[in-house]
């Protein structure tokens, strides 16, 4: 059984998607439509940068989504048929589009708006995010409870890596206390705000208004949602979960374990880099699973060959 997973912010690099667009007309069509809908030069940003312009939240969200969905279009044309799809944070919108819940056009409208709102929130309610590595979740929760101000668990990425998010002062103090409590590493993330926390309340409210205007269809493939870490096909329940996504933790560990316990033994990361592949490997350490990755034509061929051998 196969699950296709889509990466989110942090997986980008200058040059992503170029070889795919040059090699496959269906990938080129995704980029052309994405540029038409968003009005952004996504091809130039992805293929040439500059990096500081690409990584601006309002540009990055539609840019990375274009790469993810260009990869998916090629995979789908080649007959890849997963039993689940999932995406990490921003990547969830790629998963919903792949499952037919949201049209390609509406997906790009939504991620453009999401990027703009999250960038604005970073200016009006400044915050910070830190990756805490090598400290148990229970101990980190104890640390956060001792810190004055607003700081929260934001992403449970792997058994070893948890991201915290909150007000600048509170998040910084929590990071120092996590180090003192025995964290192996604590790394500040290069993001513009306190994502996946209640500090996104204003952005989430504006996004929800837009979300309720977008037509959604029943998922053709169950989507494992960030907010619940469970599979869903009902469009209204998906819409409700999406309205809470900016405010809620990304339950990635639970999502991967859910898919594994449902019988998934093949995971294919559709998008740039290998961030999710690395996380899945750590989550399912010691388990017999195959983790594949596809973005370039060469990776695509290797992934398809690997899936063929597994069948």
Structural domains in the chain, sorted by start: 2-123+198-310 (3.40.366.10), 127-188 (3.30.70.250)
User: 68 and 111 in contact (C-beta within 8 Å)?
Assistant: no
Kindly name the residue from 11, 165, 196, 248 that is annotated as catalytic: 196
Q: Return the pLDDT at 199.
A: 94
| 196 carries an active-site annotation | yes
Pick left, alpha or beta for residue 252 (phi over 0 → left; psi -120 to 50 → alpha; otherwise beta): alpha
The pTM (predicted TM-score) of the whole model is: 0.96
Average pLDDT across the chain, whole number: 96
| 285 carries an active-site annotation | no
- Which pair of tokens denotes residue 175? 């990071």
pLDDT in tens, 57-95: 999 999 999 999 999 999 999 999 999 999 999 999 999
Kindly name the residue from 11, 88, 89, 158 that is annotated as catalytic: 89
pLDDT in tens, 123-156: 888 899 999 999 999 999 999 999 999 999 999 9
Alpha helices in the chain (DSSP H): 18-23, 25-38, 42-48, 51-54, 57-77, 91-98, 104-124, 137-146, 168-180, 201-211, 235-245, 252-261, 275-283, 297-310
Q: Return the pLDDT at 127.
A: 94
Which residues, in sequence order, are CB contacts of 294 under 8 Å at separation 6+? 71, 75, 268, 269, 270, 300, 302, 303
Give the alpha-carbon dihedral of 274, 276, 281, 284, to 10 degrees: -170
Q: Which residues of the chain are modeled with pLDDT < 50?
A: 311
Q: Is the dihedral of CA 231, 132, 201, 142 positive or negative?
A: positive
């Amino acid at each position: 059984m196969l699950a296709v997973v889509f990466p989110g912010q942090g997986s980008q690099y200058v040059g992503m998607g170029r070889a795919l667009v040059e090699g496959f007309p269906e990938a080129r069509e995704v980029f052309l439509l994405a540029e038409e809908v968003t009005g952004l030069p996504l091809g130039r940003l992805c293929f040439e940068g500059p990096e500081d312009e690409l990584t601006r939240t309002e540009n990055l969200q539609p840019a990375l989504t274009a790469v993810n969905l260009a990869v998916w279009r090629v995979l789908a044309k080649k007959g890849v048929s997963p039993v689940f799809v999932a995406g990490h944070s921003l990547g969830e919108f790629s998963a919903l589009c792949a499952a037919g819940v949201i049209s390609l056009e509406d997906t790009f409208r939504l991620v453009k708006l999401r990027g703009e709102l999250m960038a604005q929130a970073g200016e009006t309610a400044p915050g910070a995010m830190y990756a805490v590595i090598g400290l148990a979740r229970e101990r980190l929760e104890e640390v956060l409870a001792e810190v004055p101000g607003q700081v929260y668990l934001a992403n449970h990425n792997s058994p070893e890596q948890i991201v915290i998010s909150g007000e600048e002062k509170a998040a910084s103090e929590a990071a120092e206390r996590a180090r003192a409590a025995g964290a192996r590493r604590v790394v500040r993330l290069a993001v513009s705000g306190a994502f996946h926390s209640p500090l996104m309340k204003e952005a989430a409210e504006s996004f929800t208004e837009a979300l309720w205007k977008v037509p959604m269809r029943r998922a053709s493939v169950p989507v494992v949602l960030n907010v619940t870490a469970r599979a869903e096909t009902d469009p209204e329940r998906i819409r409700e979960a999406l309205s809470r996504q900016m405010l809620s933790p990304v339950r990635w560990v639970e999502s991967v374990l859910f898919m594994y316990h449902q019988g998934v033994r093949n995971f294919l990361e559709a998008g740039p880099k290998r961030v999710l592949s690395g996380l899945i490997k750590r989550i399912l350490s010691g388990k017999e699973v195959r983790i594949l990755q596809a973005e370039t034509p060469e990776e695509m061929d290797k992934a398809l060959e690997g899936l063929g051998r597994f069948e």
